[in-house]
Structure 1
Amino acid sequence: MTTLTRTGFLIALAAFIGADPVRAAAPPTVFAAASLKNALDDIAGRYAQEGQEAGKPAPRISYAASNTLAKQIEQGAPADLFFSADLDWMEYLARKDLIRPDTRVSLLANSIVLIAPKGSATRVTLGPDLGTALGSGRLAMGNVEAVPAGKYGKAALEKLGAWAGVKDRIAQAESVRAALLLVSRGEAPLGIVYATDAAADPNVTIVAAFPPDSHPPIVYPVAITRESTNPDAAAFLAYLRGPVAKAAFERQGFTVLNRATTAGRE
């Protein structure tokens, strides 16, 4: 071995031995429903602070509609955890054996509300006359066939007798946060979003709350994916079930359930 080669080897060895374990470790990747962004950003930041000494890196979080994320996982996207806004898309992956059923937890509950831009004087009745309140505008919702908030919203409108009057006047968005933005910007006079989304945006106001019995229960399950090999995935899942995360979820308006479900739907 030449002197130059030996020197290069020793430098590389020293760099390896002295490497920062936090930087060297690969962070877990979380695919999470868009409505979780505020809460999970808070939780991930706290997890990173607490994990510095233990060498546990902050997770990487990718937000989108649950249906989009589930399809990406099905196509091989490298996610370690899937955090869905409904049971259907978790079941979709479970049927394809793409999650670890022993890690599955129904962690949160939510509700849906009807919103308008801040300062709106719109008066609304959740019934057959809802379309009248739209004027010449449209009702912003997540895609009613795929996005969980859109599916819940459609179910509620059907139950309350309002769907027939608005079904041709829906501005369907790719996620609940996209629907929220349409109302927040004043591009739609009304929208259906989660109560937690409405609370997170100061530019909208809640004009009505949908009765809990007008739609299926809104449950957020989380699980480690079948293909995950990251040891910190389990650590972050445990953190999501812990007291710090519970407080963060509740600050955003979620109800914490924390129920393990290892087989089938609830």
Structure 2
Amino acid sequence: MKTILVLFLSIVLSHSVWAQSVIHLYAASSMTNAVNELVSDYHQQHPNIRVVPVFGSSSSLARQIEHGAPADVYLSANEKWVHYLVNQGTVSAANVRLLVGNDLVLIQPSDLPAAHFDVGESSAWQAKLDDSRLAVGNTQAVPAGIYARETLQSLGVWQAVQPRLAQTNNVRLALALVERGEAPLGIVYKTDALQSDLVSIVHTFAESHHDPIHYPLVTLSQTPQVDDFVAYMHSTDAQKTLKKYGFNTHLGQATFKEH
């Protein structure tokens, strides 16, 4: 009888812990729309588990995690900041898997006439920008900004464009500058551009101009609930949702490699 009672209490307590579970997901700003839908869908399947997303630049989130922020899962917009956490000993490379990829695009306000110019010509950039600015994420810290800098350098126009940059703390703010017409051009992810009716895509940059845009998903807490959520993020259903938002869900044999 005592054994049965202990077993019953164990089951009840286990269920109670599961029922009260809260998972903190730290995710890159460019994932906002897709993650919100994924979290909603997951909650419908697991009503007793609440996933709380925290959005920001990948660099800012990585710094917070480094200093002990209560994150259970980290979704970065590039591999650099995950490598940083691995090298700091905060994250194990064994707990990192690439989730999706993305493309980098040049955008303008949708109410402007279509812009046609050679992205490899400094004079074309200068003429288009005139006295205005090119909206980008911070080119030293924000992944979208880092990719933008790599692209402009690869195209040979960095020296001409760099003094005309309007650098922001995350890619969504760069998108907002173009949406409001405060910048005639911006460089953002394709997924961000596709979610806005206020901007149009002028040019999609070739992958050869920048490092691969991969989103690593990092498991920070080892619990059955977190493991289940991470497994869901890699599931066929979740991948369909991510593809709907414009993410590249076929990374081939690409894997996260520890430096």
Report the TM range for the smaller structure's normalisation.
0.7 to 0.9
Q: 1:48 offset after TM fit, Å?
A: 0.4
Looking at structure 2, the residues matched to 146 and 88 of structure 1 have their Cα atoms a distance apart, in angstroms, of: 10
Say which SS state the counterpart of residue 60 (structure 1) adopts: strand
Which of these two proteins has the greater Rg computed from alpha carbons? 1
Say which SS state the counterpart of residue 188 (structure 2) adopts: strand
1:110-166 Cα distance to aligned partner (Å, 9 max, x none): 110000011212333212221221122100000000100000001100111111111
Contact 2:66 2:85 in 1 (8 A): yes
The answer to whether structure 1 residue 154 and structure 2 residue 146 are counterparts is no
Looking at structure 2, the residues matched to 215 and 260 of structure 1 have their Cα atoms a distance apart, in angstroms, of: 16
Corresponding residue to 1:116 among 108, 118, 123: 108
The answer to whether structure 1 residue 163 and structure 2 residue 158 are counterparts is yes
Corresponding residue to 1:254 among 247, 252, 257: 247
The answer to whether structure 1 residue 66 and structure 2 residue 58 are counterparts is yes
The equivalent residue for 2:8 is: none
Residues 60, 230 of structure 1: CA spacing in aligned structure 2 closer, same or farther, 3 A cutoff? farther
The equivalent residue for 1:221 is: 216
1:25-44 Cα distance to aligned partner (Å, 9 max, x none): 13110111100111111111
**Count of residue pairs the alignment pairs up:** 243
1:79-111 Cα distance to aligned partner (Å, 9 max, x none): 001111101001000111212322210111111
Say which SS state the counterpart of residue 168 (structure 1) adopts: helix
Corresponding residue to 2:80 among 72, 85, 88: 88
Say which SS state the counterpart of residue 132 (structure 1) adopts: helix
State, as a whole percentage, how many aligned pairs show the same letter: 37
Residues 79, 172 of structure 1: CA spacing in aligned structure 2 closer, same or farther, 3 A cutoff? same
Amino acid at match of 2:171: V
Q: 1:229 offset after TM fit, Å?
A: 5.2
Residues 74, 186 of structure 1: CA spacing in aligned structure 2 closer, same or farther, 3 A cutoff? same
The answer to whether structure 1 residue 241 and structure 2 residue 238 are counterparts is no
Q: 1:58 offset after TM fit, Å?
A: 2.9
Residues 238, 171 of structure 1: CA spacing in aligned structure 2 closer, same or farther, 3 A cutoff? same
Contact 1:80 1:230 in 2 (8 A): no
Contact 2:24 2:51 in 1 (8 A): yes
The equivalent residue for 1:10 is: none
| Displacement over 3 Å in runs of 4+ | 20-24, 257-263
What TM-score results when the alignment is normalised by the length of structure 2?
Answer: 0.88
Residues 260, 239 of structure 1: CA spacing in aligned structure 2 closer, same or farther, 3 A cutoff? farther
Contact 1:43 1:244 in 2 (8 A): no
Looking at structure 1, the residues matched to 18 and 183 of structure 2 have their Cα atoms a distance apart, in angstroms, of: 44
Contact 1:103 1:260 in 2 (8 A): no
Uncovered stretches (5+) of structure 2, i.e. residues with no partner: 1-11
Which stretch of the first structure deviates more once superposed, 254-263 or 243-252?
254-263
Looking at structure 1, the residues matched to 135 and 257 of structure 2 have their Cα atoms a distance apart, in angstroms, of: 35
- RMSD across aligned positions (CA): 2.0
Uncovered stretches (5+) of structure 1, i.e. residues with no partner: 1-16
What TM-score results when the alignment is normalised by the length of structure 1?
Answer: 0.86
